[in-house]
Chains A and B, each alone.
Chain A
Amino acid sequence: SQTIHQWPATLVQPVGSPLSLECTVEGTSNPNLYWYRQAAGRGLQLLFYSVGIGQISSEVPQNLSASRPQDRQFILSSKKLLLSDSGFYLCAWIGSGSYEQYFGPGTRLTVT
């Protein structure tokens, strides 16, 4: 069966520090991968999605970037964090031929 992992689970970082969040999927190949951010108001904002290795689509201009170095690995990064980057970051995947999206457990990021 397929599983999706995210780490770390929680992170506290100072303003101006770099960020790297990792997401990996097991049990499937060539998934579409997504990064969402959920701010305090509970709504979900799509940040990036990827349909293959090295292919990244950005939804909104921001302080973050994403990379997909391997088929089942999706990384969210920042060179310098802002206070407004705080939130709950969720990774998700969709298998080929499906619209059902499956989410990881999330990373809670607090920028101080």
Chain B
Amino acid sequence: GAVVSQHPSRVICKSGTSVKIECRSLDFQATTMFWYRQFPKKSLMLMATSNEGSKATYEQGVEKDKFLINHASLTLSTLTVTSAHPEDSSFYICSARDPYSYEQYFGPGTRLTVT
């Protein structure tokens, strides 16, 4: 299957700082990428849809000013958690959608811990 990379795999930051997570589609050009959040033993919660060259579409209840998404190229989307707080600690996962088959491939995830 296609490869999607995510960096960093884990990050610890202090409350009030910002953290950037990168998601790269290595095998195909992804016009659409997605950002999810996952709590322990729960299913994936879609946060936003990242569209190359345009603004991201956020799900209801997700603060767009807190979770900044940039999709500047067909292979890279970034999620920046601004002014992070302990409640933002979670497992963040990105995915890239094949524009022809609609198959969606996930990255390995980033574990964020805010102290």
Tell whether A and B belong to one assembly: no
